[in-house]
Amino acid sequence: MGINNLIREVGRISAFVVFLVLLKTSVIDFMVVSGVSMSPYLSDGELILVNKTAYGILNPFSDGYIVRCRGVEPGDVVIYPMNGRYVVKRCRGLEGERVEVSSENGYSLKVNGESFPLSETEYRHYKDVKAVPENMFFAVGDNISYSVDSRDYGFVSLENVRGKVFKLKKR
């Protein structure tokens, strides 16, 4: 193989690697679930597909979107970074939706017609909140007893959503 053929081959391989990196960072990704916070919908060790274009075109070089085409909807299972790792949770309330916090019969928070239990600390954090703030959403794991979610760390910025999660069918 001559030097020109070698240079062409290295160029092709490099272009393919760049294509794969852009595909993974901006379009589609596969990940493995770690934990039980989304059980029974997602199981620990299960392979998921992340559609990174579901809400727009992500900027592969920084946080946020280059273009947004649609918004997160209640019930969507999304992925976003939190405390240095990616988490998967279900959207339970969107910006502007009314939030009701109660201390009757234990602590609870109601958003979008659903009630979620709170600890006393979480209750104190949310007791004066009347609505989901602008450009934010309320995210909760399906396995509420084993989920660290918006009840613990607050509302999540819509700009932080990195994609919509889809369950891959088991064989």
pLDDT value for 171 = 45
Name the active-site residue from 37, 52, 147, 150. 37
pLDDT value for 51 = 95
111-124: pLDDT as tens digits: 988 999 999 999 99
pTM of the entire structure? Answer: 0.85
pLDDT value for 106 = 93
Of 100, 57, 107, 51, the C-alpha closest to 76 is 51
pLDDT value for 170 = 61
Name the active-site residue from 52, 62, 89, 115. 89
Active site residue 26: no
Question: To the nearest whole number, what is the mean pLDDT of the chain?
Answer: 91
Q: Per the structure block, which two tokens stand in for 75?
A: 């019930």
HSE-up of residue 134 (Cα within 13 Å, Cβ side): 0
Positions in the chain short of pLDDT 50: 171
Active site residue 110: no
